[in-house]
């Protein structure tokens, strides 16, 4: 059972990591940037990064549902 939980975590992490990299590229291309007020010189950073986190969460949940239905 532990390998199932680890695989769910791994799928969610990889999906979040990839979605974050893609979102950073898209946000820079579409000029969806804001000033980072917590750093000196206020660099521009992409906004709405929660989209990538939500994609990872949904991927993990769907992987769990699919695994529990078709494997068990």
3-state helix, strand, coil split of the chain in percent (to 5) is 70, 10, 20
Q: What is the pLDDT of residues 15-72, one digit of tens each?
A: 999 999 999 999 999 999 999 999 999 999 998 889 999 999 999 999 999 988 988 7
Q: What is the pTM of this model?
A: 0.81
What's the distance, CA 62 to chain centroid?
14
Question: Cα–Cα distance between 25 and 48 in angstroms, integer?
Answer: 13
Task: Tell me the C-alpha distance between 1 and 4, whole Å.
Answer: 5
Kindly give, in sequence order, each residue whose CB lies less than 8 Å from that of residue 34, ignoring residues fewer than 6 positions away: 44, 45, 47
């Amino acid at each position: 059972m532990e390998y199932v939980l680890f695989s769910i975590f791994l799928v969610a992490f990889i999906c979040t990591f990839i979605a974050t990299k893609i979102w950073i590229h898209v946000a820079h291309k579409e000029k969806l940037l804001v000033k980072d007020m917590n750093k000196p010189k206020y660099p521009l950073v992409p906004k709405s990064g929660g989209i990538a986190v939500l994609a990872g969460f949904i991927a993990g949940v769907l992987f769990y549902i699919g695994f529990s239905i078709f494997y068990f």
